[in-house]
Amino acid sequence: MYISRLNISGYKNCKENSEVRLNKGLNVLVGENGSGKTTIVNALRLILRENEFSYMNIDEDDFYISLDKQYSAPDIRIDLTLDSLSSDEQVTFLTWCDADFKAQLHLEVNSNPNRKGYYKKEIWGGASKSSIFEEETFDCIECIYLPPLRDAEEKLVNGKRSRLAQLLKKQYGDNKDSLVKNVTDFNFQITSNAEKKYNEIESAKININAKLEEALGQRLGQSINLQFAETTFNKIVESIKMVFFPGVQQSDPNKFRDIATNSLGYNNLLYIATVFAELELLKDNNMMTVLLIEEPEAHLHPQLQVKFIKYLEEVTRKLENLQVVITTHSPVLASSIDINNLIHITQREDRIIATPLKEIDLGESKNYINRWLDVTKSTLLFSKGIILVEGISEAMLLPTFAKIVLAQYNKTALANSETLLPTSLEEAGVSTININGINFKHFMKLFSNCDGSSSGVHLPIFCSGITDNDPPKLKILVYDEKGELKKDKDDEPLTTLQDIFPLPNESPVGGNSALNLIEDINKSTWGRLFSSPLKTFEYDLAINGNTSLMARIIHDIWPAEGTVKKRCISIFEKDNEYAGDEQGLKEDAEYLFKHINVDEIGKGIYAQKLTEYLESQIQGHLDAINDNKSNIMEVYENISKIMNIPDYIRKAIIWACGGGER
Amino acid sequence: MNRGEMEQKIVDTLSKNKEAAGSYISLIQSKVAEKTEQQLKYVLSHTTENIFLEACAGSGKTEVVGLKTAYEISKWYSKNKGIAVLTFTNEATDTIKERVKLFSGLTTLYPHYIGTLTGFIHGFVAQSFGYKYFKHKNRGGDTSYRLIDKNLDVHGNHWLKKYKLPYMNLNSMGPDVYANQIYYNYKINDFVIYYSENYKLPLKEYYQLTEVQEFIQNFRKKNGNNQLLGFDFIKKEIKKVKQTFLTDGFANFEDINNIAYYVLKKNVRIASLIAARFPVIIIDECQDLSWIEINILNQLKDSGSTLHFVGDLNQSIYEFKDANPATTKDYLSGFKRYFLTDNFRSCDSIVNTSNKLLGITLPIRGLAADKMGDKSVCYLEYHDLTSLNQKYLDFLERNDIPFNRSAILVRQQTLKEEFETNSKESIHPILDALQLWIENTPKSRKLALELASKHMQRWFGGAKTRNNYYCPNAIDSVYRWRIFIKDFLEGCSAVSDLVKFDGINYSTWYKNFNNHFLHIIQEAYKDLLRFDSEKRDFKDIPKMISPRGTAKVRITAYNTTDRINLVSIHTIHSVKGKDFDSVMVVSSRRNAGSGHWKQWIEKELESGRIGYVANTRAKYSLVWGVPVLKKEEREMLEYYGFKRAD
């Protein structure tokens, strides 16, 4: 049996019915802050009565309230559907069963509290409220919750709320008598000073009693006894304390230290290990257990995070009745498990949208993504928007270009009193992700149907891709010095391949296989793929009115004096003015293109220098914003003039920032 | 196994697995030692075998069911399967629960279920799974059926109009019939039209009524087609409306049973699952089972449950609910029989007379103390009820029988009401309540609240039940309602005109009351306002006038002590399972229906069993109140062992 579906409405940030479909075994909820991951976990705790006594009496804040405070939900409704009940579970959970033998559990809380301010919870099982519900069935389902940023130390040392005590209580079950007897016997030895071994305690006791009598007299006096500790089972277990040794297989008890001296991270793990030991006991009693862990990455370094999640993956595979729900912000965690276990959570229009990655039709791409979804790429799961790019240059330059594009966009929007977009990708929560090549089809399937995939489920995140047109090289016959056609040994004419450098008004057919995806992707709700119209990123950039600026950068970083620098100066000085001399423009762009990806500079260095230059320009303008922001239009205007961003890049940025197709 | 061995086995089982406190063990030992051999035998009977425990009146049946259940629970192995013990009333459920807890030493009974049969059928079967088979349209994620009373009137419930049945107003019964008033009867495979508790008509019989047939023939003639309005057509048209009613999530009591029956019949998996959850089902008062209830239980039996029926077919008095002892007897023929034939409630002469009246041949013995000798079974003849009442009181007084442990039993509600009017049921509720309030004893004030609230609820649109001082539906807080009644009475007591009773006639008092009424109630209502879901204007309440014939009469002081000590009056159906030191069973004047004494000596009819139930309520004094007898009638009564009481 496992929870296959959770529906929430009226609770926290869910106004409308939000449906979360869960997997058997391990579920990892990923998503940006405020997307509703904790709401999901709390809804589960609420309906499964995790810690009924100390936690979660509903209060006013639990009911959904719209941002303008005009609307508040009349009731909270949480519904669980559980699937795949064994025949034994069908009998146990008969009162939760519907006519299709799925189990349903419902919770409804009306927003009118009674006179004491207590909100009445109505719980029922199955499809109808009027069927019989047996409270005791809750004893057959266990919910364990591990909060984020645990104070592990508090829960591991002794005391009532100690997790350790809970483990020991479960471990002992009904066989607690011998432990109680041993401790009681020991206590008796102390209090009776057996074999005169405890003379010091005995004399202390006598002294205190004597002083009591002196001070209070015989009538009012009391007497005391000294003993080791209390001897009820619960008290004994609660006073057992955990100590640790850094390293395994240490048996000398003297070497163990108090856990207060241990690191936060390790204490956290000790704590979790205690819970896992509790899970181990479940194997025998066959009871359904739901383990909820919030942000397990807290205090753990990346390697430990990976180890931890791998262990959980294994435990859930082995324990049939264990279902685990984890929330995380850690790309390390997200990238270390099978994507079938990932559920993307986001908030849209007052509801939580939960997208199990398992349900997206990824076809063959699933293997590819499982293999290549590394820490950097898995940030896409935590973004509000995504720009996929082919290489390092784009990855470096796009965040800077975005500032220019967004300044331009917002200037127009301001002029027309329209909604503004954020001013940078960071502010927009948009990640630029370098996929190192043109394998857009694998990633784009997460957001749209393409490359033969077809499913109704996609990640509801605006995602754009930028790719190069890459027209195929021309095949050219090779002639020797005398002007004669060269032939190879089979007497076929010898050919060579030559780059082409199209003009802005040409539209050369691209050779990039990703271009075939554009049509399908652009039909989708969330994905868009844009390509450079002419050749490649740098070439298209240059020819789009940026030769002067780009020449200047090459000039500044070219290592040797000479023709290159001279030519760059001459291009720079043209100041992008070609007055119809298209051939001249093409030649300059070609020249720049050929002097970027060369040993003397390299694409990476060039992109870095250009970024630095643009950033300093942008910053200069931003610094000019006055206190009352009255000159903001002017500043946006100035920023948008720093560089002419090609249209296809502009579109990609606006799309990813949620500005639609503008 | 001899008696000692049986006792030992039960005590051992019950005290197993418990930190056997000495007091618990000795309680169990003494309880077990009290039991008869017949009782012990049943406790030790097998739960893998279908059993009918035939338990005569006063045989300690409930206690035995409690002990049996506790015994089985103590050796129970499963954590998710349990025993279901099903009763007919919440009272019986509570009693059995209490006994089981006492005998087993347990505080929670899960996974076992002790509850009413209705609750079981509704809660585990019909409400849980019915939606799937009757196209419930699902109200906001809830597929419950709302139970609609068959007597619900369309006036004030206009929503019912949607479910008006076609072709139902063709007879002289006149009024329209709505979907809540019919139900399907699987036994006769026909719909039954419910006009009242006493008048139900199968559709087929309705169709054959002369008036209905006349209409149909005329209709056919007019339309020149003698196939029109055939029975099957009309049945189908009615079924359609009924289906809409169910789809919209409404059902009457019979519908719910039918739904359960159908679900279990159609879905073997569900039946098996419920049978697996409850491998043993014990039914108390099995003589009250209707045909459909027996068939529902039978489906569970076929799916693997063992049934234990416990009851007394001689006490089967629910024919109007389709409970028929002959059907039940037939059904039980394959069950192993156990007996309880010792009646601990009544003395032997009462038992003898009761047995003789009904022609019972089972060797039932009365083991209760005989305090009255040959006056144990008597009769009183009457002309009018007032004098009969007085004669009975005299009889009780003469024989030193406390009034509050005696009862007057009648068959019909009408006779009960007649009796109550005679015994001065208040016709001046507010005035009497006020007098009682001023008397200021706990007893009188409680009575005052009851009297006043019973009347005042009408001003608030009526109450669902008499619980909580008739708290009206619209009032959210039963507690506040009570305060309101109190405030109202206090308000009245503060007006000097209203608390002067001496030498004043009723019309004067009512005039004074009407003068002050609005002010008093508005003051009292201030604190209730917040808890009232409706808007009220008390100006529209009709003025109270003194009841007919009392206007010029002087107010008589309302003497509570009289009333409280009076003997209580019950209908026979309402005293099942109860007992009284003395009982007077009062016959109706005319020999019609099952309320006349001559019907009570019928051996095969339900009326005989009704008489039997009434007679066996008495511990040591049974009196029949009969209209003045002829000589041969007197002889007949005396033949059965009745003596003249006066």
**Backbone CA torsion sign across B262, B267, B268, B273:** negative
Mean of pLDDT values over A296-310? 85
Mean pLDDT in residue range A580-585: 88
Identify the band that residue B421 occupies on the pLDDT scale cut at 50, 70 and 90.
low
Three-state SS annotation for A389-413: ECCHHHHHHHHHHHHHHHHHHHHHH
Mean pLDDT, chain B, rounded, equals: 89
Tell which CATH classification among 3.40.50.300, 3.40.50.2000, 3.40.50.20, 3.40.47.10 matches the domain B36-124+274-340.
3.40.50.300
Question: Does the pLDDT at position A184 exceed 90?
Answer: no
Residue B171 to residue B209: CA distance in whole angstroms: 7
Residue of chain A whose alpha carbon sits nearest to that of B120: A132
Tell me the C-alpha distance between A480 and A494, whole Å: 10
Per-residue pLDDT tens digits for A497-507: 888 899 888 88
Q: By C-alpha distance, which of B611, B610, B609, B621 is closest to B583?
A: B621
Instruction: Determine, for residues B141 and A106 on separate chains, whether the beta-carbon distance falls below 8 Å.
Output: yes
**Most confidently modeled range among A368-382, B163-177, B331-345, B511-525:** B331-345
Task: Output the pLDDT for position B457.
Answer: 85
Decide which of A216 and B270 is more confident. Answer: B270
**What pLDDT, on a 0 to 100 scale, did the predictor assign at position A371?**
84
Evaluate whether B36-124+274-340 and B348-421+565-644 have a shared fold: yes
Domains observed in chain A: 2-153+279-355 (3.40.50.300), 158-241 (no CATH), 360-656 (no CATH)
ipTM over 0.85: no
Question: Which residues are registered as beta bridge partners of B568?
Answer: B407
C-alpha span between B370 and A208 (Å, rounded)? 72
- Does residue B309 carry a pLDDT above 90? yes
pLDDT of B69 strictly over 80: yes
A551: tokens are: 């020449």
Minimal C-alpha gap between A99 and chain B (Å): 5
Q: What is the pLDDT of residue A461?
A: 94
Cβ of A131 within 8 Å of Cβ of B124? The answer is yes
User: Using one digit for the tens of pLDDT, what is the confidence trace for A425-455?
Assistant: 999 999 999 999 999 999 999 999 998 888 8
CB contact under 8 A, A136 and B108: yes
Q: How confident is the model at residue B564 (pLDDT cuts 50, 70, 90)?
A: very low
Q: What is the pLDDT of residue A435?
A: 92
State pLDDT tens for residues A509-529: 998 999 999 999 999 999 999
Query: In whole angstroms, what is the distance from residue A592 CA to residue A546 CA?
Result: 10
DSSP secondary structure, A431-500, as one string: EEEE-SSS-HHHHHTTTS--TT---S----SEEEEEE---PPPEEEE-B-TTSPBPB-TTSPBPEEEE--
Rounded Cα gap, residues B42 and A368, in angstroms: 71
What homologous superfamily is domain B348-421+565-644 in, according to CATH?
Answer: P-loop containing nucleotide triphosphate hydrolases (3.40.50.300)
Which long-range CB contacts under 8 A does A414-418 form with residues at least 24 apart?
A: A414/A632, A414/A633, A414/A636, A415/A633
**Helix (H, G, I), strand (E, B), or coil: what is residue B411?**
coil
Per-residue pLDDT, B244: 95
Token pair for B10: 């039960």
Comparing CB atoms, the residue among A87, A106, A128 nearest residue B127 is A128
Residue B22, pLDDT > 80, answer no
What phi, psi does A343 have (nearest 5°)? -125, 120
pLDDT at B18: 57
Give me the pLDDT at residue B565, please: 47
Residue B568 scores a pLDDT above 60: yes
State both tokens at B267.
């879905």
Q: Where are the domains of chain B?
A: 36-124+274-340, 134-259, 348-421+565-644, 429-558
Lowest mean pLDDT among B51-60, B140-149, B500-509: B500-509
**Angstrom distance (rounded) from CA B374 to CA A413:** 109
pLDDT in tens, A21-64: 999 999 999 998 888 999 999 999 999 988 655 455 788 888 99
A589 is written with which tokens? 């762009």
Contact B111 A126 (CB under 8 A): no
Which secondary-structure segment (H or E) carries B260?
A: helix B253-266
Report pLDDT for A285: 65
pLDDT of residue A195: 83
Chain B partners within 8 Å of A130 (Cβ): 122-123, 127, 144-145
Per-residue pLDDT at B21: 66
- Give percent above pLDDT 70 in chain B: 96
**With an 8 Å Cβ cutoff, are B144 and A88 in contact?**
no
Region B425-453: mean pLDDT is: 81
Taking contacts as CB-CB distances below 8 angstroms, the residues of chain B near A87 are 276
**Per-residue pLDDT reduced to its tens digit, A142-179:** 888 888 766 667 777 666 667 777 788 778 877 777 88
Q: Report yes or no: B141 at the A interface, CB cutoff 8 Å.
A: yes
Report CB contact under 8 Å: B269, A136. Answer: no
B202–chain A Cβ distance below 8 A for any pair? no
A91 and B277 within 8 Å at the Cβ level: the answer is: yes
Mutation target vs A (from B120, B129, B273, B305; most A CBs, 10 A cutoff): B129
What is the C-alpha separation between B638 and A23, in angstroms, rounded?
A: 81
Of these ranges, A229-238, A255-264, A330-339, B465-474, the one predicted with the greatest mean pLDDT is: A330-339
> What is the per-residue pLDDT across B194-237, written as a single tens digit (0 to 9) for each?
988 878 999 999 999 988 999 999 999 999 998 999 999 999 99
Confidence of residue A413 (pLDDT cuts 50, 70, 90): very high
- pLDDT tens, position by position, A95-116: 999 999 999 999 999 888 877 7
Q: Quote the mean pLDDT of chain A.
A: 88
CA–CA distance, A590 with A584 (Å, rounded to integer): 10
Q: How far is B130 from chain A (nearest CA, A)?
A: 8
Residue A521: per-residue pLDDT: 95
Q: Of the candidates A32, B323, A36, which has an alpha carbon nearest to the alpha carbon of residue A20?
A: A36
CB B64 within 8 A of CB B284: no
| Low-confidence winner among A173-187, A271-285, B274-288, B588-602 (lowest mean pLDDT) | A271-285
What confidence tier does B122 reach under pLDDT thresholds 50, 70, 90?
very high
